[in-house]
Amino acid sequence: MGSQADGRGRRTLLAGAASLAAACLAGCSSAEMLPEMREAAPAARRGPSPSTPKAAYERLMAGNRRWVTNALQHPDRDPTRRELLASSQQPYGAVLSCIDSRVPPELVFDTGLGDLFVMRSGGVAVGPVITGSVEYGPMTSGTPLIVVLGHQRCGAVSAAYDALREGKPLPGNLRAIEEALRPAYEQTVRQGGADPKETMTRAQVQLTASALRGNRDLAPLVSKGSLAVVGAYYSLDTGRVEILNGAPA
């Protein structure tokens, strides 16, 4: 009688321990599990880089749609991709964007290692070094797409607008940004509108894209259809990239 009771007790104890372990495992989040119990999902794989402006544009905009809808793939962001690119690269896009921390092109377009050349300046202001950096991909690697990406509520544009309107120059080297944005400011004053700073942001993007499109070294590539220069505007509210001009047909 005693041995049977002891056996039933041991079985009950073992069953209880198993149930407790199962409950703990079910209730633990992946962050709480031991590192050796977790297996990272492999990054999405992509085919060859697009070689035409239209194909590059479509891939980039598909990435932005994933960003907007939170259907991110995080493609090509693992050690295998890093090792593959160690000796060479062939990005399919070059993006000139603002320095704003809320507008990182690699995230906004859901891209991976080796996909984009990225240049950033306050208010997408340009000068010889920035322009040369934008030219680098198309002229040395055959990159078929350039995107000039301004954004909603741009602090650099706002500061330059106020400085130019009030006649109080910005301090230090910020003055260079102010002067680079002067043509967009002057166009905005002529154009008018309910929100002049947003108007100025869009004007700056379109002026910069047009200048790059007509650039002495880039214009021949645009003319023969091997390069497109797109002006775009990013909404901080929605994450959506709106095309202003230059989308390849």
pLDDT for position 43 = 57
Distance CA 248, CA 237 (A): 26
pTM comes to 0.82
Higher pLDDT, 78 or 159: 159
CA atoms within 13 A on the CB side of 7: 4
Reading the block at residue 221, the tokens are: 């590539």
Q: Is the pLDDT of residue 105 over 50?
A: yes
Q: Is the pLDDT of residue 37 over 80?
A: no
134, 128 contact by CB (below 8 A): no
How far is C-alpha 141 from the chain's CA centre? 20
What does the mean pLDDT of the chain come to? 87
**Which DSSP symbol is given to 139?**
I
Confidence of residue 5 (pLDDT cuts 50, 70, 90): very low
Distance CA 215, CA 183 (A): 17
